[in-house]
Structure 1
């Protein structure tokens, strides 16, 4: 390895371009650190490192969302870099969207460009990042013989070839992908309650520190509550990442879309509570374990082997439609775009970001303008990208269903032709590193936890339509359950099968509301044009049991679109605001209002209802639902 390192350093100094695809711990960062020392000794310029990883090193500077943003700060930065007072300049990829950054870089003496997490450069597969597209443009404004080092631990053959094409035929150093310190294990766990029971049974056996990946922020928060109840020190990424790095936490929870590489060498356990989007992401996340220790366990829990591939946030047809719409006008705001085109917030934002990166749109504040650059539909390339994405997703499905060495299967799926059985995974040893038989008592404890736990949801602060503060917001949002919990399943059955809520459900609502009520409380049901009597009957029964007032002061003028069919926040708000009205002469002065509904998802029904109720001047508004359906 030492000879490889020295050879690469020599090649970089000789102005070669190099792409390194090697696993975590191979020493990729050491390459550019030593190359920089030698280049500085020759009075060469600064090393610019483009990286999503927040890094602090001696003799370094950073440009991110908050650092070195003003003109004066950047002028000082140019002086510092060009006078050898700074060895490394770290830039977050998001900053590449700022054209002024290109002007700054053109004034620097740059000896070496380093691109960390270079798999994001590729447009193929699930790890493509539109911000990395500007790197190709950056290289065009710098001297043609500029030294470039791109590094990644995660790139299959297709991604490697795509990166190499963008870098201009670099020297490629690609090693074996098998991670020798890892002991892999997979386990089919069909239900949410069983997954939580498995976590309970194994919580005291986790070798800490531990990383857990779950599909959504909401799921991460619920798991964190459960593990804290079991006595573990738990935090959420990204807010508490530093505490995890400082060993102040036992467990850090991340979403499965998190591709951050943690520079922490003693991570002993990685648990995938939910499956990630691809075998590439899975490999990248397990690479965080066992870097400087002889053994680490990586366990993936899954509900089904053949889960369908989720739709990507970027699709060519939607991308084309957004560009075509903006082309018709002299500037379009995001609000106008959302009100006209019923695409999700993620699809719209991702498409706009990519279009700016591709030079098809320009952004000025909140308005987007079409540029003269022609849009060329690349159907063949788009199909190629979609096929690559499907292959990466299928690779993980194959690993979950196959009978064979888990590490070898993972590495082979990533095009490592020399992978061999690891002798350490649960297939090779026929031994599980965890307690996998789930006890009924543990499941019952989980169900009690779900039933006792009240979900909190936060109000919208501004109108999505006007971007102005709402006149009045509900101060607290509470729900009795999530949709995948036993109680949530009961509420679903009562609504859609029984057509009425049971007395047990009424009692649960009363128990939740009792501490919130006083003599001035009024319960107001959210109206529905499809199940007209369902929520009002529940609300009236609860009001009678609590001895508080009841009012059907809100009504819908006509049948609205199904709220779940409205895909972005503007359309969700507009769908409610167009039809929800307050009865004339309603006066709630000094009253506390409890808005009651069966399900909450986008929170816009509650937000608009509270805004409309502001005309009746209540002193406080609380929103309560039976089920929180949100997936955020």
Structure 2
């Protein structure tokens, strides 16, 4: 194409951009270079550009030009729809609305609109869809992969991979479903352009993604964000951090996001801020999709001051005038942190970005790191259990390997992408292809994660420019001091909190008591490992709803509970502070809205192999305070421990016949006129309490009320 013709294409591109972003919008030079490479040269392009640079404008403009046939030869059919692979529903909804402004017809296929799939597929075949947004999980759905994906790949006019760092296991948010893009790429016609975009890729991730794309043009820009003012404040404990938020939230401009590291922290923080009169909503992976949508819209409409969110909101939320981002706890890497704070300040002159790290952050990072790819022995166990012709579901595999459902699914997805297994209707099949456990690479990735965590701690404590620090972490060669952060200029905020807010936070966090919900069903697949339990747990064997002091991830009780029952905690007698907390829980349980139907008539402790002093002393103190008979300890014959993240089937397999009620305890149980209070240190999967309680019920206990110090998670 001649230079004159390229100029004409650029003029058309500028016209589309004005429809999309307003009459004064002008393409940046790198935006045009990307569009030119996609539309004119039909190349593959990787854009590594800061949030707010306009990556979505590139693919919407390119879509319009391709669909209009601007560069098509006479007689060529119109280009097929653009397919955008995007990780979050929030981004999809924003993108559909943005496309409509430019006259681009966009549809989405995701888990929230299953009833529309047939209609959308028909519209695609009729040429009525310009842009189709799909989640990476769709790529590994058997029906979609086998029945939709081949035809879609053959007809795609442009493939867009958003948040492309997820393709790389060096990236901070690696997702194995993204690796299925290799299959999609292989099925594209020869000159189909491909665009990959991300704002958070260092040199190693950039090189990895570019290699997977093939011969790609890499457009990497400056990561400076001149609207962001970064700060970090060291506060002594969670109560001070909540009090700081209550004192300063009104001072923060506009509306924004308060990020937390755990679901429990997000829920607690939102509840506390609402109790202080703030309009906020929580946003986590455990919130229903309809409630998340409503919360997103309320923030977009400035009806609330903040979303209190986990990393479920980490990518794709598009609110250009977001005025602040506060982190209650530090993310595990500067790259992830830069990605999250990048949501703010895109269309405002100044946005405040404040980090409130805590000493508990390291323990939370360690927990999530422990959920990484399993050891080779467990992987081989799964591979050996699978056959090439009889699929096994994930629940059917759980009794075979001691991995929780989410971690098992993650492992199977990686094996699927590697070609060792294949997902089909009904579960997973072995392919018979040779597979090698890449120990060296997994070790290098783990080491990289550890290094990132150390760097994040350095960021919190640095006296140098914070923006320059982050940009250097992302290998930005243009990184220079920003002149705006709390280290470059006078800080806008200090660590002072009011006595009133601190007292309120301490009272709020000092409240003890969370419910332990009883199990109603046995895990599936137990018969395959010789355990004769299935279906509903019989009423005569069920335990009642229980209570714990708190969760290990709680802001208020988390630190204190981890000190007693964490993996590195020594066994010792129950401290007085925790006895007082347990007594408060029992009082609330007796008189609260969901009070027990009958007061406990006796106390039994669960025999602990790890913390016998702690559990026995707790049971003794409860019996003494409540003036209840202590019937003794129910000891398990299972000496091992599945660990804090074992799955339900494995726990039942280990413990289904492990509890034997001594004759003297059984005799006492039959004489009771009320339930037994069953005491343990921690409820993780919940099955220890269920199976110990089942043994007590079978021995004659009228009922069982489980009580634990902590709930995992």
Report the TM-score when normalising by structure 1: 0.87
C-alpha deviation, 1:506, in angstroms:
6.8
Asked if the contact 1:589/1:616 (under 8 Å) is kept, the reply is no
Matched residue, 1:53: 88
Matched residue, 1:437: 496
Matched, 1:512 2:581: no
- Equivalent of 1:568, from 635, 639, 647? 647
Q: Rate the CA distance shift 1:601–1:202 in 2: closer, same or farther, 3 A.
A: farther
C-alpha deviation, 1:194, in angstroms:
2.9
Q: Rate the CA distance shift 1:66–1:256 in 2: closer, same or farther, 3 A.
A: closer
Matched residue, 1:456: 515
Asked if the contact 1:185/1:299 (under 8 Å) is kept, the reply is yes
Q: Rate the CA distance shift 1:360–1:175 in 2: closer, same or farther, 3 A.
A: same
Matched residue, 1:538: 621
Moved more, 130-139 or 228-237: 228-237
**What are the ranges of 5 or more consecutive residues in structure 2 without an aligned counterpart?**
1-25, 70-77, 527-533
Distance in structure 2 (CA, Å) of the matches to 1:506 and 1:283: 41
Instruction: Summarize the alignment of residues 162-173 of structure 1 with structure 2, pairs less than 5 Å apart.
Output: 162-173=208-219
Asked if the contact 1:19/1:171 (under 8 Å) is kept, the reply is yes
Aligned partner of residue 127 in structure 1, secondary structure: coil
Matched, 1:628 2:710: yes
C-alpha deviation, 1:367, in angstroms:
4.6
Distance in structure 2 (CA, Å) of the matches to 1:426 and 1:221: 29
C-alpha deviation, 1:173, in angstroms:
1.4
Instruction: Summarize the alignment of residues 278-293 of structure 1 with structure 2, pairs less than 5 Å apart.
Output: 278-293=333-348
- Equivalent of 1:246, from 263, 287, 297? 297
Distance in structure 2 (CA, Å) of the matches to 1:110 and 1:489: 55
Aligned partner of residue 580 in structure 1, secondary structure: coil
Instruction: Summarize the alignment of residues 553-632 of structure 1 with structure 2, pairs less than 5 Å apart.
Output: 555-558=634-637, 560-562=639-641, 564=643, 567-581=646-660, 594-612=677-695, 615=698, 622-625=705-708, 627-631=709-713
C-alpha deviation, 1:587, in angstroms:
5.6
Distance in structure 1 (CA, Å) of the matches to 2:378 and 2:329: 33
Matched residue, 2:607: 528
Matched residue, 1:11: 37
Q: Runs (4+) of structure 1 moved beyond 6 Å?
A: 490-495, 616-620
**What are the ranges of 5 or more consecutive residues in structure 1 without an aligned counterpart?**
none
C-alpha deviation, 1:104, in angstroms:
1.5
C-alpha deviation, 1:343, in angstroms:
4.6
Asked if the contact 2:606/2:679 (under 8 Å) is kept, the reply is no
Asked if the contact 1:606/1:623 (under 8 Å) is kept, the reply is yes
Instruction: Please give the root-mean-square deviation of Cα atoms over the aligned residues, in Å.
Output: 3.5
- Equivalent of 2:229, from 180, 183, 196? 183
Matched residue, 2:8: none
Matched residue, 1:67: 113
Report the TM-score when normalising by structure 2: 0.78
C-alpha deviation, 1:280, in angstroms:
1.3
C-alpha deviation, 1:401, in angstroms:
3.3
Matched, 1:33 2:60: yes
User: Residue deviations 1:483-513, cap 9 Å, x none?
Assistant: 5747984997799544676874675355234
Moved more, 594-603 or 175-184: 594-603
C-alpha deviation, 1:342, in angstroms:
4.1
Moved more, 489-498 or 442-451: 489-498
User: Residue deviations 1:271-291, cap 9 Å, x none?
Assistant: 111111211111110011112
C-alpha deviation, 1:556, in angstroms:
2.6
Asked if the contact 1:451/1:487 (under 8 Å) is kept, the reply is no
Aligned partner of residue 61 in structure 1, secondary structure: strand
Instruction: Summarize the alignment of residues 216-615 of structure 1 with structure 2, pairs less than 5 Å apart.
Output: 216-238=262-284, 239=287, 240-247=291-298, 248-256=303-311, 259-303=314-358, 307=362, 310=366, 312=369, 318-319=375-376, 321-323=378-380, 325-327=382-384, 330=387, 334=394, 337-343=397-403, 345-364=405-424, 367-431=427-491, 433-438=492-497, 442-464=501-523, 466=526, 468-472=535-539, 474=543, 476-482=545-551, 485=556, 489=560, 496-498=571-573, 504=580, 507-515=583-591, 516=595, 521-529=600-608, 530-531=612-613, 533-544=616-627, 552=631, 555-558=634-637, 560-562=639-641, 564=643, 567-581=646-660, 594-612=677-695, 615=698
User: Residue deviations 1:372-409, cap 9 Å, x none?
Assistant: 22113445544543444344334323322332110011
Matched residue, 1:202: 248
Matched residue, 2:14: none
C-alpha deviation, 1:24, in angstroms:
1.6
Matched, 1:107 2:151: yes
Distance in structure 2 (CA, Å) of the matches to 1:490 and 1:312: 20
Distance in structure 2 (CA, Å) of the matches to 1:409 and 1:512: 49
Distance in structure 2 (CA, Å) of the matches to 1:138 and 1:543: 65
C-alpha deviation, 1:94, in angstroms:
0.5
Number of aligned residue pairs: give it: 622
User: Residue deviations 1:176-197, cap 9 Å, x none?
Assistant: 1111111101122343333233
Q: Rate the CA distance shift 1:200–1:66 in 2: closer, same or farther, 3 A.
A: closer
